[in-house]
Structures are given as C-alpha cells and as structure tokens.
Chains A and B, each alone.
Chain A
C-alpha cells in the first residue's frame, strides 16, 4: 500500500534516484503523521471522545447507534455507515471478533481502512512524458494541489515538469498557476483568458515531448458536475490530449474538498463518467471536517484516495495512508 512519496508515484523506467528519493526515515514519517494528527485533532474530538472513551466499554445496541452517529457526522453517508456498522456488529455477534472493547475498536479501524483503500494503486507517472489531468468542482483546491505535486516532482525527484494552465475561465487562474510554476521551477504553458483549454493541454503535451520533459500536469477550470456543456468540454480536453499522445492522460485525479457532504459522491461519479477518474485528492483536511465522504466514494465507486491536503504549505500534501486515516479518525 503506497504511503510514501516514493511509493505513491510509479515512475516507470525513469531514473529518479535523487538524494531525496531515498526512503523517508521512520522518524520523519512519524513527525508528519503526528502533525497530521495534531492538525486533525480537533476534528477528531467529537468522534474520538465518543468512540474511544466509553463507546466500546460495553457492547450493546447503543454502541452501534453511537458509532453510526459518529460516522454520519464524519460525512461517511448513510449507506456506507450502515454497511460498516452492520459488518462489525455481525462479526462481534458471530464471535469472529471478541466482544472486547479494544478488539472491536481495532477491528473497526481495519474495516474503515479496508473500505477507504478500495482498489488503490500508485499514481501512474511511467509515461514519457507522463500526463496527469486534474479535475474537480470549483474551489476544491485543484491549482494548489497541482502546484504542490509539481514542487515534489521537481524538487524532490529532480523531474522536469510542464504545467498546462487549462483553467482559461476563472479570472487570474493562470497567474495563480504561474506563481506555483515559479516556486516549483516548472515550465508553464498558457493561453489568453477565454482561450481553448484543449489547445492549452495539447500544446503543453507537445512542448513536453519536444523538450523531453518528464511530467505534464494539466489544470482545468473548476466546474460543477451538473453543467453538461462544461463536462463535455472536459471530455474533449481528454480526447485532445489523447490525440497528442495515444495513452494519455495516464492519470486523472479529482480533488474533493473534505468539507463536502454527500454531493461528493455525485461529483466523483459524474466526473468519472466524463474522464475516467483514477483517484481522489482529499483537500482541506486541516479543518474540522473529517472527509468521511471518501469512504463512501471508495466504497460505492471503487475510486481510491491517493493524496491528502492538510494545509497551505508545500509539505501539507501527503500520500494518503488509509490505515493511518482510519486510525487518526478514531485515535485518542
């Protein structure tokens, strides 16, 4: 299960052994996750206080009800919540899991992690160049996420990155990406505002091929999944990219805001119908929102979370670790 930057990127045959590419030290990892836990600690309170303190002291009807409540409050949604709780309840009743508080709690974490990890794989960057398409609803953090991914690829893996400013709609979106490109030392391909996003993507991939760049990341304008014409435009961007490079884009990620409720499921489903989404970037996990909607997305659509965003700074984008996520949801 990929949980480090080295594991989350499948770089294929590419030689990316940079000084920083050696496995992350356990200490640093711990540091990062304690930070994650810390930044999430407030969000956990509601859930943890209820769950860890007294919930599993006595296993009875009330236990399941309160567990249900906690998962609903985390935005996991009624169907996924019911499934998880029923499964745990059944296992306890059948004796597969002993009716001991600690055992039940650990089993719950296992189940949650299993649900969250549904069908996961690394982010495929084996193409030459590898083309990554970023999609999502307005305001979910696409551009910021792209900036951070570019920074990691460029600064930590020493790869050359081309950013395509495919958000030609929102005022100043290209400027925002330009700032990130500069920070990451990436090249930016853009057009004027109102230009054709497909053409920008096409040009970026062409430029990357001509210059032998390693990765192209294509930004797109945020759009509501209900805007049929804009979803068609997205499909077209994808098609245009494939015209430049037949098997591209190699990876399509959707950004989902952790504060999103049940609509996140619709977003993931409809975007996936338009552009075949490979994974979710769960952003803004540094607030009090628990991002439980990704459980529903993984459970019902089989689209795994690959990255999480926990803040504004560069190191606040991390590979998603389902076990840790589940544990952090329930930890003391």
Chain B
C-alpha cells in the first residue's frame, strides 16, 4: 500500500527538471518503474505490456510543466490513462420493464459469491426493490444453509430445494416462483466453479438459457493474480457476463485483477464489496481503483467514509468549538469514537495520499490498545474535568488513573498532549499550516505513549 509509485518516479526523474523535456531514456526508466508497480499490483503481464507501450507514446516529448515535478507529471498521465482504461463512470444494472429482473451470479470457488448475493440483495432492497434469492449451489456442503441465513439477514426471500435437485431446475422453478410472488428482482446464486471444468461451465450456460438473466455478474476476488485474465475470458465465453463484482477490496491487495479483467473482456466493474458486514457493498469507482492500483491512496473513499460516519450537525458544532477554542476532552472522546467507527486507524492512514513524504506516519502502526486506554482515561474523568483538563492535579489524577487502570504518568501525558493538540487545531482553523513534526506528534500523541511503532518491511 505504501509503495508509492510517485515516490519512485520522483527519484527516477529527479534530474529531469533542469533539462525541461522528458527524453527517451527518462521515459524508459519511468516505464520500468510503472511496469514493476503494475506487476506488484497483479495486473496481468500482457496487459502491462500493452499499457506501458501506449503510455510511453504519450509521455515521450511531453512538456515538463512548471507546476509539477516530472515524476508527478508522469503519475498524472498514468492515472489518467488507467482511469480511462478502467472505464469512465461505470454503468448501472439493467432492470426489466416488467416481471422480475434476473441477476445471475457466477465465479470461482471462494470468490465470495454467496456473500455478494446477499449484499446485492440488501443493496437493491434499500432502494425499495422486493428481492428473492435462488439457492443453486448444491455442491458445496452447507452452501444452501449459508444463503438462507445471509438472505434472511439481508431481508430477502430465499428459494431453495435443498441439495438433491438439479441447479438448472431450481433456477427455473425459482423464477416461476418469483413471478408468482411478484418479486422485483431474483438473484441466482450458483456454485463456484473452475473455468476449465467444462461440465459445470455447461451447467452455467444452461442456467443462463433457462432464466434469461438481465445481468450476469462475474464475482472476482481482488486478490487474484495473473490468472484473472484466463478466468475472465472463460467466463465471458460460457456465461457472457455483463459486469463484475470485485470482492475483498477491504484487504490490502492492490487489485490489479480489476484492470486485467476490464482490459481483456471490456466488461465494466459494477460493484465493490469491502467488508464482512452486509452493508459493506457499493458502486464501483474506476478512478479510485486506478489510484489504488498505483498505490496512491484512496482519498475519495476516505472522504466518503467520513461523510457517512460524521453527523453534519456535529461537524458544524465541532467547527464552532474549534473556532471559539471551546474544544474539550469530552469532544475529543466523541471525535475519537467517530473516527474509530470508520475502522482500524492504520487502515485509514493507508488511504491518505502523500504519506510517502511523511516517513513518521508512513510506517506507523497505530496501536488500537493505546486508543482504548485513552478512552478509558477520559471516561474516568468527571464532566468538569473533561471540560477543563487544567484542574486535573494531585488527587484527581490519582483517582482517574485508578479508575481507568492506568498510571498517573499516562493521565499526565494525555492531558499534556490534548493541550498540544488543541493548540495545533487552533492553528489549522486559523489557516496556519502545522509542520509535519507537529502532525506526527499529534498522531503519536493521541495515545498515552507518543512513539509510533515501525514495522519492518
């Protein structure tokens, strides 16, 4: 995640500025870095080759702009080309004008089909659709049970006939039932299958014929390597899929498979599945994926995540408090809880671009235990103490340490760091830029012990 292409390109092209133009040698050197970055992200070798060829032509002779350094400029071109290749803004599902819309889900074993079915059901249910699921995976032990359970959680009806019936017949029967029960959408879950298993691929083609799906979605694991191309090509042939659901995007895989699949089949990625919970499912954003493949962080996703979690009124409130310098430990506690709702902090840091420049944060391994301790300390304070930490002395300190199971020094440290933080926030609000050292201090300083742990690479 932190292997920033921009860092590397900046190093490679550091002496270009003085010469004004990118020479062929510069471009070749840059292409080597880009090639490596893409391969590390699991973009298929052949796709990389074609891509870097196009890219080279665009970079050759490109004017070096005053405003950007040559490395950044190449990154910009790469990002643009990559976003273009990933396919604009993506498309929507095709819905039937009357009768149930049928969505057929297919993919390799373990790619996350069953979970994706339930997530999609929930997603469509949220927009007012009446959704049913058809359990056609009769091979994997307990797959039907799994769909029944997650389907229920997603608020969708599950049509199942156990594991003795033929999947093609189950699918046809489920479609009839969906019609009878006036469902808006029928999502057909199928067994995971290998793209070279001709019997099972035939079965998939048969299900497709019988149910005439409006959309066939291929479920692809974001961690897939070079083989993504072969898989996508085979499924394109047998199932003629219309779009892709990328799963397990909450991991740290750079997800080059998304690019490979799009490049060889031309089919868009429609949805991104990003976590264990059913609601961790969303429209796919090609531009964000491009940045992710390049290891350039995912600022947009972070902003959106924050927007979902932070109540707007609370945000306004906070802004006012910061401006008038009334930010208290109580507010700090609430803020911390908000931020932690977004997920582990180390994950959030990874989404921020520009971390390459800030070495202290780059490898910082946020200790969630420290944050628990900070919470405990604040929770052991009285409202008065939270509003006015300056009064925390002697016996109060002792009581708080005792109450939170921490040491007096840790309470001290927290109060001191809170004070520093408040000063810095005041600076930010008033438009001054804090130095990276100050930011790092604050990041480490959120915990009782201000020492970021360094993870060896």
Binding site for B on A (CB under 8 A): 42, 69, 72-75, 77-78, 137-141, 169-173, 175-176, 178-180, 193, 224-229, 257, 259-264, 266-267, 284, 286-290, 292-293, 312
Residues from chain A with a CB closer than 8 A to the CB of B141 are 175-176, 179-180
Q: Which of A140, A172, A193, A224 is most buried by chain B, counting CB atoms within 10 A of its CB?
A: A172
Asked if B42 and A263 sit within 8 Å, CB to CB, the answer is yes
Asked if B109 and A141 sit within 8 Å, CB to CB, the answer is yes
User: Which positions 224-245 of chain B face chain A at CB distance < 8 Å?
Assistant: 224-228, 230-231
Q: Which of B36, B112, B226, B253 is most buried by chain A, counting CB atoms within 10 A of its CB?
A: B226
Instruction: Give Cα distance in the complex from A267 to B227, angstroms.
Output: 18
Instruction: Give Cα distance in the complex from A169 to B115, angstroms.
Output: 13
Asked if B225 and A261 sit within 8 Å, CB to CB, the answer is yes
Kindly state whether residue B70 has any CB partner on chain A within 8 Å: no
Residues from chain B with a CB closer than 8 A to the CB of A137 are 223, 248, 251
Contact of B221 among A179, A227, A259 (CB under 8 A): A259
Kindly state whether residue B40 has any CB partner on chain A within 8 Å: yes
Binary per-residue interface labels of chain B (192-217) against chain A in the complex, 1 for a CB within 8 Å, 0 otherwise? 00111000000000000000000000
Instruction: Give Cα distance in the complex from A282 to B240, angstroms.
Output: 30
Instruction: Give Cα distance in the complex from A72 to B38, angstroms.
Output: 12
Residues from chain A with a CB closer than 8 A to the CB of B224 are 259-261
Kindly state whether residue B150 has any CB partner on chain A within 8 Å: yes
Q: Chain A nearest CB: distance from B274 CB in Å?
A: 10
Residues from chain A with a CB closer than 8 A to the CB of B223 are 137, 257, 260-261, 263-264, 267
Residues from chain B with a CB closer than 8 A to the CB of A170 are 146
Kindly state whether residue B161 has any CB partner on chain A within 8 Å: no
- Which residue of chain A is the closest to B368 with respect to CB atoms? A228
Residues from chain A with a CB closer than 8 A to the CB of B40 are 77-78, 262
A/B pair count, beta carbons within 8 Å: 143
Q: Chain B nearest CB: distance from A219 CB in Å?
A: 13
- Also in contact, A287 and B194, with CB within 8 A (given A137-B223, A226-B347, A262-B42): yes
Q: Chain A nearest CB: distance from B363 CB in Å?
A: 14
Asked if B226 and A172 sit within 8 Å, CB to CB, the answer is no
Asked if B146 and A226 sit within 8 Å, CB to CB, the answer is no
Residues from chain B with a CB closer than 8 A to the CB of A72 are 39, 45, 226
Q: Chain B nearest CB: distance from A180 CB in Å?
A: 7
Asked if B142 and A138 sit within 8 Å, CB to CB, the answer is no
Q: Chain A nearest CB: distance from B422 CB in Å?
A: 28
User: Which positions 28-72 of chain B face chain A at CB distance < 8 Å?
Assistant: 36, 39-42, 44-45
Residues from chain A with a CB closer than 8 A to the CB of B250 are 224, 226-227
Asked if A138 and B248 sit within 8 Å, CB to CB, the answer is yes
Instruction: Give Cα distance in the complex from A293 to B281, angstroms.
Output: 28
Residues from chain A with a CB closer than 8 A to the CB of B44 are 73
Query: What are 18 A-B pairs with beta-carbon distances under 8 A?
Result: A137-B248, A139-B221, A171-B149, A176-B140, A176-B142, A178-B142, A228-B346, A257-B110, A261-B224, A261-B256, A263-B42, A263-B254, A264-B223, A288-B227, A288-B230, A288-B231, A289-B226, A292-B225
Name B's interface SS. loop
Residues from chain A with a CB closer than 8 A to the CB of B248 are 137-139, 224
- Also in contact, A69 and B142, with CB within 8 A (given A75-B226, A261-B226): no
Asked if A228 and B344 sit within 8 Å, CB to CB, the answer is yes
Instruction: Give Cα distance in the complex from A266 to B227, angstroms.
Output: 19
- Which residue of chain B is the closest to A221 with respect to CB atoms? B276
Residues from chain A with a CB closer than 8 A to the CB of B254 are 262-263
Asked if A284 and B110 sit within 8 Å, CB to CB, the answer is yes
Residues from chain B with a CB closer than 8 A to the CB of A171 are 145-146, 148-150
Asked if B39 and A263 sit within 8 Å, CB to CB, the answer is no
Instruction: Give Cα distance in the complex from A284 to B368, angstroms.
Output: 35
Asked if B344 and A288 sit within 8 Å, CB to CB, the answer is no
Instruction: Give Cα distance in the complex from A78 to B254, angstroms.
Output: 15
Contact of A226 among B42, B112, B145, B251 (CB under 8 A): B251
Closest 9 CB pairs of A and B: A261-B225, A139-B110, A261-B42, A171-B149, A172-B145, A263-B253, A175-B142, A289-B227, A75-B225
Binary per-residue interface labels of chain B (109-134) against chain A in the complex, 1 for a CB within 8 Å, 0 otherwise? 11110000000000000000000000
Please name 8 further chain A to chain B contacts, defined as beta carbons within 8 Å, in addition to the given A287-B195, A290-B226, sorted by A numbering. Answer: A74-B226, A139-B221, A172-B143, A175-B142, A227-B250, A262-B254, A287-B196, A287-B231
Residues from chain A with a CB closer than 8 A to the CB of B261 are none
Contact of A225 among B142, B221, B251 (CB under 8 A): B251
- Also in contact, A262 and B225, with CB within 8 A (given A170-B146, A288-B196): yes
Instruction: Give Cα distance in the complex from A266 to B223, angstroms.
Output: 11
Kindly state whether residue B257 has any CB partner on chain A within 8 Å: yes
